[in-house]
Amino acid sequence: MPRRICAISGKGGAGKTTVIILVAGEYAIQGKKVLLIDADPRQNLAEWWK
């Protein structure tokens, strides 16, 4: 069964991207498929991935 985990807050610098990266990494280590979608206009996740 698919799970969706979202981190939403209007405040910048709250650690949303960091938390999502860490949670996704744990799922990936367990062998689960992970899809990360960054809807933040600053594209912090895309920058981290490089």
Residue 50, pLDDT score: 65
Per-residue pLDDT of the chain (50 residues), as tens digits, is 788 988 888 887 788 888 888 999 999 999 999 998 888 777 777 777 66
| Domain assignment of residue 1, yes or no | no
Residues 6+ apart with CB under 8 A from 2: none
Give the domain extent around 27. 16-49
What CA–CA distance (Å, rounded) separates 36 from 5?
Answer: 10
| Residue 7 covered by a domain | no
Domain count, the chain: 1
Please state, in angstroms and rounded to a whole number, the distance separating the CA atoms of residues 6 and 19: 10
User: Could you count the other beta carbons within 10 Å of the beta carbon of residue 27?
Assistant: 13
Asked whether residue 30 is assigned to any structural domain, the reply reads yes
The reply to whether 10 falls in a domain is no
Classify residue 24: in a domain, yes or no: yes
- Give the Cα separation of 50 and 38 in Å (integer): 14
Q: Has residue 41 been placed in a domain?
A: yes
Instruction: Give pTM, 2 decimals.
Output: 0.73
